[in-house]
Amino acid sequence: MASSHLLCNHRLFFPPSSKKGHLSITPPAKLQFQRNPFVQASKKQLEVVYDPDERLNKLADEVDKEAPFSRLTLFSPCKINVFLRITNKREDGYHDLASLFHTVSLGDIIKFSLSPSKSNDRLSTNVSGVPLDDRNLIIKALNLYRKKTGSSNFFWVHLDKKVPTGAGLGGGSSNAATALWAANQFNGSLATEKELQEWSSEIGSDIPFFFSHGAAYCTGRGEVVQDISPPLPLDIPMVLIKPKEACSTAEVYTRLRLDQTSKVDPLTLLEKISRNGISQDVCINDLEPPAFEVLPSLKRLKQRVTAAGRGQYDAVFMSGSGSTIVGIGSPDPPQFLYDDDDYRDVFLSEANFISREENEWYKQLISTTTPQTAGTGSNDNL
């Protein structure tokens, strides 16, 4: 069974603060990259993955001499949708939603270094398959910031990816919000948080949420964010279970039938959660039926987790458009995920709800656990 150390340790790690706010700023030491083989980027990419001769470290030291600070490390948390109602299809083809978004303690680590370049950003990552060019939301966010502010700063960025993709957890959206926050700190906070939030909707519907304080009632396409106090205790444990297969958000929405969605007023759901806490009847996700059509094995997974977790989980539901199944109330996955070969590649992670303070970014919970795959233990590839 997965360790529950995260449940037992709710202390937040606060890195050293700076005069511009409480930031996780790495000291002016040489950046240390894994000594992986040199990878030549294509012309369409903006950066190589690693530079084994430490040329980048030497250049960063030169930048240090000229800048107030040149390196910044930030936590980029993912989110879950405690409930997700789809209320209408709009004339522009999008759907209106009403959802309780909440950040959780699973997240990526992103390292930003001020670059001497005045022409391009450079992105590297610890996983394969992640685009390194302007298809990546991090690069889109940095481009957006320069467009809005006239800043001439460019960056080296390293993404230590832990959040699985195609999971309904908003990992890419969080990365974009984190990049906007970082760029703003390097530029002396030229923009307000409200401006960053408004700008971010131009490149993604879920990105504005991450400029809340961790809990928000979101409407419109998701970009209308009503920041609320956390309606649930932050120390409620949960387990995130994502099968190897991902759900195509576009295909899920294509199969959505509004006449078959829930009719419960989403504000009633929010009120019940705030008053009574989590229960199965309030964790409604209107995208579950179409997602289960796209990926029938996901429906079976939820059914098995629900059956095996009776008395263990307060609620079991899908987050976003899938394919992550969330079990609220316990950090421990059901035993069948370890015993059944069909689930040996399932991604598993404990989590808790988290929030952030005004003028600070999210902080990583101290934990001795790491995400896992059910069949092999630690999962270093996600």
Q: Where are the alpha helices (DSSP H) in 155-283?
A: 171-186, 193-200, 249-255, 266-276
DSSP 8-class letter at 38: P
CB atoms within 10 A of CB 120: 15
Q: Is there a contact between 88 and 105 (Cβ–Cβ < 8 Å)?
A: no
261/86 Cα distance (integer angstroms): 7
Q: Which residues pair with 157 in a beta bridge?
A: 112, 123
Q: What residues are annotated to the active site? A: 79, 206
Kindly list the distances between the CA atom of residue 360 and the CA atoms of 17, 73, 151, 181, 182, in Å, as whole numbers in the listed order.
Answer: 10, 13, 22, 10, 11
Tokens representing 135? 């298809």
223/200 Cα distance (integer angstroms): 9
Closest to 49 in 3D by CA, of 133, 118, 120? 133
CB atoms within 10 A of CB 246: 19
337/351 Cα distance (integer angstroms): 17
Q: Is there a contact between 182 and 112 (Cβ–Cβ < 8 Å)?
A: yes
Run of H or E residues at 159: strand 154-160
Q: Which residues pair with 57 in a beta bridge?
A: none
